[in-house]
Structure 1
Amino acid sequence: MIDERDTAAIAAQLGREPRGVRRVAYRCPCGNPAVIETAPRLPDGTPFPTLFYLTCPKLASAIGTLEGGGMMRGMQARLADDPELRASYEAAHADYLRRRDQATKEEGVEPLPEGMQSAGGMPERVKCLHALIAHELAVPGVNPFGHEALAELPEWWRNGPCVRPGGDAETTTDDRPDQEGER
């Protein structure tokens, strides 16, 4: 269960009320939520395949810089050429699906349609570092590309939290790169 203070912080980070939040999956070193675990279906029943969703706008901006710098192209090329890396990425995909299926059972909701994507392009593409890093932060050591990209990030929290105690965000949602879905 998520408490009122975390819900308020997440709403300030996103610029809107969050939906389908199950728990805080990772806290930023500043103490605020940075990754949430979401239900596989929104309250109205709409499928939402992104289990681990990044909420910290400072972290999202830093990841957007990596994406803009072309990191994903190099990862994609290596995925095609490295069987061990491909196997590790496929294992990350299986982990994501297993955890999402478990969340479906715990929430008592209808399973997502067969073949629905996991996140970040897994297991065949490298599509969204936000989703891959969120997975790695929530489940350390599982996502090879999330781990690799995370190691390249600056210390986004060093200049203070993205949300002040009053709930005001320091960066606007317009400055945030898109993720694979909207929570």
Structure 2
Amino acid sequence: MITPCTTADTATIREQLGRMPRGVVGVAARSAAGEPLVVATAPRLEDGTPFPTTYYLTHPDYVAECSRLEASGVMAEWTAEVAADEDLAAAYRAAHRAYLAARSRIGKDAGLAEVEEISDFSAGGMPTRVKCLHALVGHALAAGRGVNPIGDRALDLLEGVPKPA
């Protein structure tokens, strides 16, 4: 569930990233302590630019851990597994569709028309490859376990991150 950004959330997000991300519509995932982990962004920015990254990972510990995993080479391994395992591929395609549906809802809630330029483009390489664990983990945290199988796998490998709410 996306919650509005409070003044404290905005200050925390600025501190986490060193800036405020564009198009923020609310906090999509929090730690058990209540701090923002992921923000939800509008599918079209104020200047009219299409913005496909619906879930933006903000917490520095999660960002660092996703970078560590990416550097380990696991993305190529998981991409090969998605190509070889039909059950995993089907679950990953379902995650792609869930991401698109969530972005559409967020856009509608923000009073935006459907953004045709990105209508079939999700994030993180979905639905056929694993490209950005930051996006996939952001999706898994925002949507909850069981929606994005690759995001869930990555979450299981993260070390020293705050527990999500």
Residues 1:155 and 2:160 are matched in the alignment: yes
The C-alpha deviation readout for 1:72-107, integer Å capped at 9, x for no partner, is 111011011000000000000000000111111111
Give the conservation status (yes or no) of the 8 Å contact 1:120–1:130: yes
Give the conservation status (yes or no) of the 8 Å contact 2:78–2:130: yes
Counterpart-to-counterpart distance in 2, 1:152 and 1:114: 30
TM-score of the aligned structures, taking structure 1 as reference length: 0.81
Q: Which residue of 1 aligns with 2:86?
A: 83
Give the conservation status (yes or no) of the 8 Å contact 1:7–1:18: no
Counterpart-to-counterpart distance in 2, 1:157 and 1:85: 27
Q: Which residue of 1 aligns with 2:66?
A: 63
TM-score of the aligned structures, taking structure 2 as reference length: 0.90
Partner of residue 122 from structure 1, selected from 116, 120, 126: 126
Larger Cα-atom Rg: 1
The C-alpha deviation readout for 1:16-60, integer Å capped at 9, x for no partner, is 123221111111234310101111111222111111110011110
Q: How does 1:155-174 map to 2 (within 5 A)?
A: 155-157=160-162
Deviation (angstroms), 1:149: 0.8
Q: Which residue of 2 aligns with 1:26?
A: 29
Deviation (angstroms), 1:115: 4.7
Residue correspondences, number = 158
Partner of residue 146 from structure 1, selected from 146, 151, 163: 151
Q: Which consecutive unaligned segments of at least 5 residues does structure 2 have? A: none
Counterpart-to-counterpart distance in 2, 1:115 and 1:109: 13
What is the percentage of aligned positions where both structures have the same residue?
A: 49
* Partner secondary structure for residue 35 of structure 1: strand
Structure 1 residue runs of 4 or more that deviate by more than 4 Å after TM superposition: none
Q: Which consecutive unaligned segments of at least 5 residues does structure 1 have? A: 159-183
Counterpart-to-counterpart distance in 1, 2:65 and 2:141: 15
* Partner secondary structure for residue 6 of structure 1: helix
Residues 1:36 and 2:39 are matched in the alignment: yes
RMSD of aligned Cα (Å): 1.5
Structure with greater helix percent:
2
Deviation (angstroms), 1:157: 3.5
Amino acid at match of 2:150: F
Deviation (angstroms), 1:110: 3.1
Give the conservation status (yes or no) of the 8 Å contact 2:124–2:131: yes
